[in-house]
Amino acid sequence: MTSLSIGRLARATDVKVPTIRFYEQIGLLPEPERTQSDRRLYGEADVRRLAFIKHARQLGFAVEAIRSLLALADDPDRPCAEANALAAEQLAVVETKIERLQALRHELRRMARADCDGRAGDCRVIEALGDHSLCADDHDRPATPGALGAL
């Protein structure tokens, strides 16, 4: 059975060493065995689990959601409805963000197109920022709290 140092696990999964320790600290990864000199030792299962976590993070799942997904993955007899719900929820989050960003893109494009080259006093960009009424888009609508936040 193979066993990996934390550095090797990091390279194997493309996750940084401090991040691995962080995941252990918050309980996403189990506490691994240790060598006599207290160094962490990982096995194949850890590689799989960390890859799972990494992939879920890339898809934008919050750590708490990943915790739930891991619990499901750990216990194959539990019903997977929860997993479907989490995926659907995450999909909705992503779709909301896309819409929102598209509105911002539209607005930024209008600003960037102006591309004035004189004094700041006449700058369209600055003017557009100062005068919201110049905006066509409703990017000031309530939106989900945090829609502007993390992915």
Partner DNA sequence: CTTGATCCTCTAGCGGCTAGAGGATGCAGG
Partner DNA sequence: CCTGCATCCTCTAGCCGCTAGAGGATCAAG
Binding site for its own copies (CB under 8 A): 14, 48, 51-52, 55-60, 69, 72-73, 75-81, 83-84, 86-88, 90-91, 94-95, 97-98, 101-102, 104-105, 107-109, 111-112, 114-123, 125-126, 129-130, 132, 135, 139-140, 148-151
- Residue 93 interacts with DNA (CB under 7 A): yes or no: no
Cβ-based nearer residue to DNA, 116 or 144: 144
Nearest to 83 by CA among 68, 97, 93: 68
> Tokens 């750990």 appear where?
74
| From candidates 27, 39, 102, 134, binder to DNA by CB under 7 A | 39
Pair 9, 50: CB distance under 8 Å: yes
Cβ atoms of residues 41 and 34 within 8 Å: yes
To its own copies, the closest distance from the beta carbon of 37 in angstroms equals 32
- The residue with tokens 């896309």 is 98
CB atoms within 10 A of CB 47: 16
In the complex, minimum distance from the CB of residue 88 to its own copies, in angstroms, rounded to a whole number: 5
Inter-axis angle of helices 44-58 and 6-13, nearest 10 = 50
Residues that bind DNA (CB under 7 A): 5-8, 10, 16-19, 21-22, 35-40, 57, 62-64, 145, 150
